Chain A
Amino acid sequence: MPEPLLDVQGLETTFKTSEGTVHAVNGVSFDLREGETLGVVGESGCGKSVTMLSLLGLIPSPPGKVVTGSAKFFNQDLLKMSRDEIRAIRGSQIAMVFQDPMTSLNPVLTVGRQLVEPLMLHLGMTKKQAEDRAAELLEMVNIPKARERLGDYPHQFSGGMRQRVMIAMAISCSPQLLIADEPTTALDVTIQAQITDLVKRLRAELGMSIIWITHDLGVVAGLAQRVMVMYGGYIIEEAPVNELFANPSHPYTIGLIGSLPRVDIGEQQRLISVEGVPPLLLEKPKHCPFAPRCKWVMEKCWNENPVLEPVAPEHRVACWADVKKERPR
């Protein structure tokens, strides 16, 4: 098997708050192959964004702290890099797109200026070259009259257009890895379709790897090759996308898929709801983090936190129960 592009081992991140230490990420290990699109799914507070921000040194410290772990990217450990070293990688080899394009763009600088800057900084282009390239990039993300729009400010673009500008900025230095954190969540569904379509096209053209963070299983189904489900700061299930939807094996994944209404299916029964609420994580759970909400909970679940174990090729689950056979593993 070829070396993975990114290899994360045992990542733990905590935040100090007035109510105590929040254990946001509790030992997360995963890898990403070259050219692969990995979907990371989970609800608010499950640790999916914090995991990725930790890798890029974007956790505000204090209050946040990457406690332990390693993240090998081209045989360099991202977590051991100095500020300047990680800054050189961020934006050039690894780029990120965030949920809210309005807060990630500088409102007082023209879009052109914001696009030109990284090109001159990271790639050493002249102003003229950078401007030509910026116009090209806006064209690539389907912004009409690209060259004229370089002089416009972010507020002159609509939400969907701003997200295109963000994507143009992210791909400007041809990164090997694009991390997209809920990039379509704030957008309307027809605009979301435009953006996912665009990302699929760019992925094919540029051959980059993508980590796509979302709470929307529908988006993941259409975009990712492999999916990781997170809960309470842990990865609780990981599988190729078809396998995950065909054979979800963790009670939480099963609940999540069952709680989704389907636009393509007519008469439906009551939705399967997952009762209860996600954990607060003020303590690092000593038991399975999902135990308080789980239908299949057993004695063992309260005593020991399950670790990811393979159940099928490339399919790993962290659960003591074999849910389908209704018995312990």
Chain B
Amino acid sequence: MTDNNVLLRVDNLVKHFPIMRGIFQKQVGAVRAVDDISFEVKRGETLGLVGESGCGKSTAGRTILQLYRATSGSVNFDGVDLGTLRGEELRKTRRKMQMIFQDPYASLNPRMTVGEIVREPLLVHGVTSDAEAYERVKQLLELVRLNPAFSTRYPHEFSGGQRQRIGIARALALQPSFIVCDEPISALDVSIQAQVVNLLEELQEKFGLTYLFIAHDLSMVRHISDRVAVMYLGVMVELATRDELYNNPLHPYTQALLSAVPIPDPVKESTRTRTILVGDVPSPANPPSGCRFRTRCPIAEAVCAESRPEFREIKPGHFVACFFAERFL
């Protein structure tokens, strides 16, 4: 496929983590963190990737960036199959794809000054001289609305929101075209979340960035995304444009997930009917046969245990993995 609009194409991506046991570390099983997902990200869009803890959304993000090597499947970035790249070639491609991490405390080296942190990618990739790097750091800090005078300070002197800005400045240093935002706001207070999200939106407009926005907060994902994908226990269950997904969810899991989100409006809350799922998410080391969601699904039938529902395009641009999705059309 040579669709020029597609920046990233993920085909049948699988990432299993081996479970080892005994003194010989024999492999006795695998955590099937990501189990065959396929999707595309278009140039300049924000694709939201949502799901609950342990659904594999962060693993998917990291495997796409080749921070983990995929067990099988391919990741095609700007026409290049990343899985085939090694060493220097991969490093060069990495310039174009960056990541913003969830925890602004763990993702900044406490022994480096803010200036050093933001400058490091420039030096590692040898794109600028020292003098230019200094100028560039100043620009980057201004871009994320931090005072450039702060570049000699250490991360502990900053609040969570400010630290997240430092992480964003670092991610932008190499002028990437694609950024994986892995729960960038979930560690922040509500009033600070809006500051960071507004900044991300502004930067996207300015530089034409493409985001893969990983989050568990469905309200924020609705706000920031153009299209949204929902994951459950290592598989993708639904993918559609933002309003289509939120207005006409076709997978029973998406429906339950949306109905569980509290709405900050007491009048609406009091009249709402909820689908409350029973039980917990099963272990990804031993997922249910057939459809992964069948153990908690309100409409599951015998067929759901037998075979895995195909992730199919039920209407243009709306993908769903459920045998009975037609019922909700």
Contact = CB atoms under 8 A, between A and B. Distances in A.
Interface of A: 43-44, 158, 160-161, 188-194, 196-197, 215-222, 241-242, 245, 255-264, 266-268, 270-275, 277-278
A267 B241 CA distance: 13
A255 B264 CA distance: 13
B189 interface: yes
A267 B162 CA distance: 28
A236 to B, nearest CB: 13
Give the interface residue-count category, chain B.
Answer: 35 or more
- Nearest 5 A/B pairs, CB to CB: A218-B262, A261-B223, A259-B194, A193-B260, A273-B194
A139 to B, nearest CB: 15
Interface string B167-210: 00000000000000000000001111111011001000000000
A262 to B, nearest CB: 6
A215 B189 contact: yes
A281 B161 CA distance: 18
A80 B222 CA distance: 50
Contacts of B94: none
B264 A189 contact: no
Interface in B195-248: 195, 197-198, 201, 216, 218-220, 222-224, 242-243, 246-247
A192 to B, nearest CB: 7
Nearest to B161: A277
Contacts of B222: 261-263, 266
B112 interface: no
A260 B280 contact: no
Contact of A189 (B197, B198, B216, B265): B216
A242 B266 contact: yes
Question: Main SS of chain B's interface residues?
Answer: helix
A215 B191 CA distance: 10
Given A222-B269, A260-B190, A277-B159, A271 B276 contact: no
21 contacts: A189-B218, A193-B276, A196-B262, A197-B274, A215-B190, A216-B262, A218-B219, A222-B266, A260-B194, A261-B224, A262-B219, A262-B223, A266-B222, A266-B246, A268-B223, A270-B198, A271-B194, A271-B198, A275-B195, A277-B192, A278-B189
A255 B265 CA distance: 15
B195 to A, nearest CB: 4
Nearest to A144: B279
A243 B111 CA distance: 49
Interface of B: 52-53, 159, 161-162, 189-195, 197-198, 201, 216, 218-220, 222-224, 242-243, 246-247, 256-270, 272, 274, 276-277, 280-281
A206 to B, nearest CB: 20
B276 A262 contact: no
B265 A188 contact: no
A268 B257 CA distance: 21
A219 B259 CA distance: 13
A43 B261 contact: no
B52 A193 contact: no
A255 B191 contact: yes
Given A189-B218, A194-B277, A273-B195, A263 B266 contact: no
Contacts of A196: 262
